[in-house]
Amino acid sequence: MDTQHRAVVVLSRALDQAGDALAAIHPDDLDRPTPCSGWTVRELADHLAGAPHRFLRSARGEEVDWSASADVGDDPAVLAAHFRAHADDLLHHWHGQPDDHVAQADWQSAELGVHTWDLVQALGRPLRLDDEVAQRGLAFMRQGLTEDNRGEAFGAPVPVADDASAYDRLVAFAGRDPRA
């Protein structure tokens, strides 16, 4: 399978694991802190639940408020269902795009990969994370995330061992300490 279409396959897996992480939230988890600086599980889950819809709007060239709430409340089951419904719409969009546009799905995998890791860490429950999501996400981030454009969303890269896992390398590049 060529690299362009591989981006959509990996995005599908990133969406699946993010949906699984959202589905693993219990109501008593909502006020837990997350590695995403200053965000609780409630805030991160809301951000993650709205991501596929925002990604789709952005891919269509529409203006997107990246800080907007998913506006579906904080019932974990509703958040997960909202996420999954829009994830399907996003994948349908990418399947209909020309090859030269599909590689843009990698930035969505990067965002989903980092925030899924954030959520899994906050919940403290095991969830298998797909190494290829982390690898493609990191490759994308290394191409465009610089010291000058990290903004508030990404801290300075955290050093990790050369043999660190794919997810440890991804989140460390995004400014999270995988050892914390």
- Contact assessment for residue 112 and residue 133, using Cβ atoms and an 8 Å cutoff: yes
Residue 2 has pLDDT above 80, yes or no: no
- pLDDT at residue 4 in the model: 60
Section 55-84 average pLDDT: 93
Does residue 46 form part of some domain? yes
Section 175-180 average pLDDT: 90
Q: What are the φ and ψ backbone dihedral angles of 67, each rounded to 5 degrees?
A: -95, 0
Does residue 9 form part of some domain? yes
Does residue 24 form part of some domain? yes
Helix (H) or strand (E) holding 8: helix 3-23
- pLDDT at residue 44 in the model: 96
pTM over the 0.75 mark: yes
CA distance 17 to 13: 6
Q: Please report which confidence band the pLDDT of residue 150 belongs to, taking 50, 70 and 90 as the band edges.
A: confident
Q: Which residue has the tokens 């719409």?
A: 89
Does residue 47 form part of some domain? yes
- pLDDT at residue 134 in the model: 97
CA distance 116 to 79: 14
Does residue 166 form part of some domain? yes
Does residue 180 form part of some domain? no
Does residue 178 form part of some domain? no
More confident residue, 151 or 91: 91
Torsion sign across C-alpha atoms 130, 78, 153, 140: positive
Q: Please report which confidence band the pLDDT of residue 1 belongs to, taking 50, 70 and 90 as the band edges.
A: very low
More confident residue, 140 or 147: 140
Section 116-138 average pLDDT: 96
Does residue 40 form part of some domain? yes
Q: Which domain holds residue 32?
A: 3-173
- pLDDT at residue 101 in the model: 83
- pLDDT at residue 3 in the model: 56
- What CATH number has the domain bearing residue 143? 1.20.120.450
Section 48-55 average pLDDT: 96
**Count of structural domains, the chain:** 1
